[in-house]
Amino acid sequence: MIKRFLYSQKVAPYVFVLPFILVFLVFWVYPLGSSLSMSFQKVTLGQDAQWIGLDNYTKLMGDKTFFKAVANSAVYMVLTLLILIPFPMLFAVLINNKFMWGREFFKSSFFFPALTSVVVAGTIFRLMFGEMEGSMINSILGIFGIEPMKFLKGQVTGYIALVALATWRWTGVNMLYFLSGLKNIPDDYYEAASIDGASAWQKFTRITMPLLKPTTIYVLTISIYAGLAMFIESMMLWNGNNSPKNIGLTIVGYLYRQGIEKNNLGYAAAVGIVLLAITMIINLSQLAFSGMFKKED
Amino acid sequence: MKRKWLVMMLVLTMTTLLFGCGSKSSSSSKGESSVLDAGAGENATELSYWTFVELHGQHFEKMLEKWNAANPDRQIKLNVTVMPYDDMHNKLSIAVQTGVGAPDIADIELGKFPDFLKGTPQLVPLNDVIDPYRDTIVKSRIDLYSKDGQNYGIPTHVGASVAFYNTEILKEAGVDYKSIVTWEDFKQAGIKVHEKTGKYMGTADTSATWQVSQLLAQQGTDLTDDNGNPIVNSEAMVKALKLLKDLQDNDVIATIAGGQPDTEEAYGEFNSGNYATAFMPLWQMSRYTNYMADLSGKIAIAPIPVMEKGMPRSVGGGGTGTVVTKTAKDVQLAKDFLAFAKLSLDANKEIWNTLGFDPVNMDVWDMKDVTHNPENKFVKYFINNPFDVLNEIKNEIKLIKSTPASPTINNVLCTVTLNEIFEDGKDIKKALDDAQAQIEQELK
């Protein structure tokens, strides 16, 4: 009986997906549900939570620091999208080119930063962008006669450091996604195009870019998510969650500040739910716009 | 084509999962654990202790040996875990909240303490073990860790604020630190120092409220009113910041990397002699001996300048309350040991010897054999003896109250307001009004 059940062709697929479903239920659906309910509660140390209706959300709408955090995360996301999609794509195409020398060297050196821990990288970037005259960036600026800058205390300069860190760290990863996408494009197309007299630019825009579309959409989706959920980079760069004038505060950073640092878990849950809503709206509309939900033929 | 789509969705979900996990694991750090035997026998009870200051563990090790020798039937093995400041408090608050995994004994820093007193505190009242020592210790330091007459934490030090002067720089400019009594004296001295040496007399702190507290205490006010409500835009506060801003405008003080003297970046700046003065609680001494070796024999300790002669010259700054959690294995044993290790006369002497703190038992301040011991590393490092200064200001040490609003007040001032004033030159009254509004909004 059991044997027949296990060997049944109808049951087998479900057995195989069961581990994923279980993990999904325990680590995603349950926490999501409980944070949703928590966002309507006031949660205090070691005591029963009280239901307070929409209070957390109405407070959130009048919270300037929260909007500062949302703006920070949004700007960071847009900047990373502008840098971390075109450039890795370009590098991937260059590295994929048979006439390029040192391909393996470039591939591994671009990817190398992704292997370092964000904690180490963030700390080193903090020292590089330090405000002392002797810090690396300031001593380079000094060669050109520019006065030392307080990078991590200003909004724009702080973001230069933050985006530099993200670019350094993620270019290689996105490049690898594009490289694997490029490997799936048959050489025949390019040969045919060459015979027809297409220029390199035409080949790139008419063959490479359209055929890379699924990869691009994938990279775009995870980059939107990663940009909005960024936290550790900022925390390490500013040596803690409290950057001057909150210039480096992200949505997740604000969630952490309220929930963990201030023990206000109910309010933090509301922040988390808003973050989820924002991410879902952006990503779903992006996927719909790029035709991912269209019926396949 | 359909299969490809499914595969992609699967990869997508898995990567997002990975993203989530990756960022969490890299931020957590386990901390360092070590079990202190200190001559304990087999029947000893093992207690766990969390702290964010490694030195505190060394102090407990010394006191544990004495305890185990004196109490053969109640011996203790102490399992000490040292974690970074934020990590430790965050973990402790989660452990206390869930009632699982909290240590028996823990250090909680003053700035975080009010969070642990919200609602019904999940800590054990320590009144009965404090009572035998109550007359010998500074009352206000116990009050900091109390709620509704229950004392939940045992203090470590008084933290009297003093001025640390780099006499080498002052000599170069022809300034005698002993002649600095008022802020006006300090300003004139600072202008001289900057003209002659190009160095700054002091720091304009953007990430700590030590200076603000000192200036408020001089005027007899506080960051909160009698009911514990924030009053950060009070006249006294405007006056205090105007004074500091004026010093900054005259190149007497300047902002420092790290934002305040007690940071890694600032240790380096002080050590290379770029700033002559720090106004800090006395425990800054241990930062000098540990991180600023080049300044040995150059630093003098003196009372902080005042706005007008006769104003109180010091305020207690910072502090660590050691607590016993409700989930402790043996609550009575933990309480008794804690009182022995931090409140007994012996303990107070060791707190000075090992940690270089000003002990809460002020009788120790007068024991010349303890405070003027020529072998002590703190006595060796500084030009004058800190206790000579402490005894001079003994009756002038004021207190900035710790209230449920304090963590929020500190957060807003240290991340936003002080930066706006000293880095961006925002109007002081406007910056403080904004801060008051923001704090009220957050406390709603």
Kindly report, residue by residue over B352-362, the tens digit of the pLDDT: 998 889 999 98
Residue B347: C-alpha distances to residues B136, B150, B339, B344 (Å)? 13, 23, 9, 5
Mutate to test the interface with A, among B415, B418, B423, B434 (most CBs of A within 10 A): B415
Residue with structure tokens 């691009």? A216
Residue (of B405, B397, B402) closest to B108 by Cα position: B402
Residues of B in contact with A235 (CB under 8 A): 27
CA triple B82-B87-B91, angle to 5 deg: 95
Q: What is the mean pLDDT of residues B202-211?
A: 94
What are the backbone angles phi and psi of residue B279, rounded to the nearest 5°?
Answer: -100, 100
Residues of B in contact with A150 (CB under 8 A): 423
Residue (of B398, B432, B353) closest to B59 by Cα position: B353
The answer to whether the beta carbons of residues B286 and B130 sit under 8 Å apart is no
Would you state the structure tokens that stand for residue B298, as one six-digit string?
């150059």
Closest-approach residue (CA) in chain B for A240: B86
Give the pLDDT score at B97: 79
| pLDDT at residue B250 greater than cutoff 80 | yes
Give the pLDDT score at B271: 94
Please give the full DSSP string across A108-148, using - where no structure is assigned.
HHHHHHHHS-HHHHHHHHHHHT-SSTTSHHHHHHHHTTPPP
Measured between CA atoms, how close is A44 to chain B, in angstroms? 7
In angstroms, the CA A112 to CA A88 distance is 14
What are the backbone angles phi and psi of residue B164, rounded to the nearest 5°?
Answer: -110, 115
Strands (E) in B139-203, as ranges, are 146-147, 150-151, 161-166, 202-203
Residue A9: C-alpha distances to residues A18, A21, A22, A231, B6 (Å)? 15, 19, 21, 45, 20
Facing B26 at nearest CB: one of A118, A130, A150: A118
Measured between CA atoms, how close is A209 to chain B, in angstroms? 18
Q: Does B345 touch chain A (CB under 8 A)?
A: no
Amino acid letter, A291:
G
Report helix, strand or coil for B377.
Answer: helix
Q: Which residues pair with B315 in a beta bridge?
A: B398
In this structure, the number of other CB atoms found within 10 A of the CB of residue B83 comes to 20
**CB contact (8 A) between residue B407 and residue A229:** no
**CB contact (8 A) between residue A246 and residue B423:** no
Give the pLDDT score at B161: 95
Measured between CA atoms, how close is B416 to chain A, in angstroms? 4
| pLDDT at residue B27 greater than cutoff 50 | no
Facing A64 at nearest CB: one of B120, B423, B438: B438
| pLDDT at residue B296 greater than cutoff 90 | yes
Measured between CA atoms, how close is B115 to chain A, in angstroms? 7
Residues of B in contact with A297 (CB under 8 A): 1
Q: Does A243 touch chain B (CB under 8 A)?
A: yes
Closest-approach residue (CA) in chain B for A220: B12
Helix axis angle, A64-84 relative to B428-443, nearest 10°?
A: 100
Residue B280 buriedness (CB in 10 A; 0-12 / 13-18 / 19+): buried
Q: Does A240 touch chain B (CB under 8 A)?
A: yes
Closest-approach residue (CA) in chain A for B404: A262
- State the number of CA atoms in the 13 A half-sphere of A263 facing the CB: 26
In angstroms, the CA B141 to CA B222 distance is 16
Give the pLDDT score at B263: 87
Q: What share of chain B in percent tops pLDDT 70?
A: 93
| pLDDT at residue B320 greater than cutoff 80 | yes
User: Taking the mean position of all CA atoms in its chain, how far away is CA B434?
Assistant: 26
Give the pLDDT score at B210: 95
In angstroms, the CA A271 to CA A202 distance is 46
| pLDDT at residue B25 greater than cutoff 70 | no
Residues of B in contact with A241 (CB under 8 A): 86
Residue (of A238, A229, A224) closest to A282 by Cα position: A224
Would you state the structure tokens that stand for residue B336, as one six-digit string?
């008794």
What are the backbone angles phi and psi of residue B278, rounded to the nearest 5°?
Answer: -130, 130
Mark which residues 114-173 of B lie under 8 Å from A by CB: 115-116, 118-120, 122
User: Taking the mean position of all CA atoms in its chain, how far away is CA B399?
Assistant: 13
In angstroms, the CA A249 to CA A247 distance is 6
**CB contact (8 A) between residue A246 and residue B407:** no
| pLDDT at residue B116 greater than cutoff 60 | yes
Facing A232 at nearest CB: one of B23, B416, B419: B23
The answer to whether the beta carbons of residues A77 and A71 sit under 8 Å apart is no
Q: Does A218 touch chain B (CB under 8 A)?
A: yes
Measured between CA atoms, how close is B329 to chain A, in angstroms? 18
Give the CATH H-level superfamily of domain A55-289.
MetI-like (1.10.3720.10)
Task: Spell out the residues 6+ positions from residue B58 whose beta carbon is closer than 8 angstroms to its own.
Answer: B354
Residues of B in contact with A155 (CB under 8 A): none
What are the helix (H) ranges across A8-63? 12-24, 30-38, 55-61
Residue with structure tokens 């004038």? A245
Give the pLDDT score at B13: 52
Q: How many CB pairs under 8 A join A and B?
A: 101
B253: left (phi over 0), alpha (psi -120 to 50) or beta: beta
Residue-by-residue pLDDT tens, chain A, 297 positions: 677 776 778 888 888 899 999 999 999 999 999 999 999 998 876 667 889 989 999 999 988 899 999 999 999 999 999 999 999 999 999 998 888 888 889 888 999 898 888 889 998 999 899 888 888 899 999 899 888 888 888 899 999 999 999 999 999 999 999 999 999 999 899 999 999 999 988 999 999 999 999 999 999 989 998 999 999 999 999 888 888 999 999 999 999 988 888 888 899 999 999 999 998 999 889 888 887 777 655
- Kind and range of the H or E element at B398? strand B397-398
Give the pLDDT score at B302: 96
What are the backbone angles phi and psi of residue B292, rounded to the nearest 5°?
Answer: -125, 60
Q: What is the domain partition of chain A in residue ranges?
A: 1-38, 55-289
Give the pLDDT score at B113: 92
Q: Is the dihedral of CA A230, A231, A232, A238 positive or negative?
A: positive
Closest-approach residue (CA) in chain B for A151: B257
Report helix, strand or coil for A257.
Answer: helix
Q: Does A221 touch chain B (CB under 8 A)?
A: yes
Residues of A in contact with B269 (CB under 8 A): 132
Facing B441 at nearest CB: one of A63, A132, A292: A63
The answer to whether the beta carbons of residues B59 and B27 sit under 8 Å apart is no
Mark which residues 14-73 of B lie under 8 Å from A by CB: 15-17, 19, 23, 26-27
Closest-approach residue (CA) in chain B for A132: B257
User: Taking the mean position of all CA atoms in its chain, how far away is CA A119?
Assistant: 16
Facing B16 at nearest CB: one of A45, A119, A225: A225
Q: Is the dihedral of CA B198, B204, B205, B209 positive or negative?
A: positive
The answer to whether the beta carbons of residues A242 and A129 sit under 8 Å apart is no
In angstroms, the CA A95 to CA A99 distance is 9
Residue (of B342, B337, B393) closest to B365 by Cα position: B393
Would you state the structure tokens that stand for residue B378, as one six-digit string?
């703190």
Tell me the CA end-to-end span of chain B in Å, nearest whole number: 54
Residue B252: C-alpha distances to residues A81, A133, B162 (Å)? 45, 20, 18
| Polymer length in residues for chain B | 444
Strands (E) in B30-101, as ranges, are 32-36, 45-51, 76-82
Residue (of B67, B264, B100, B279) closest to B186 by Cα position: B279
In angstroms, the CA A244 to CA B206 distance is 8
**CB contact (8 A) between residue A46 and residue B120:** yes
Facing A44 at nearest CB: one of B23, B118, B259: B118
In angstroms, the CA B193 to CA B106 distance is 45
Q: Does B206 touch chain A (CB under 8 A)?
A: yes
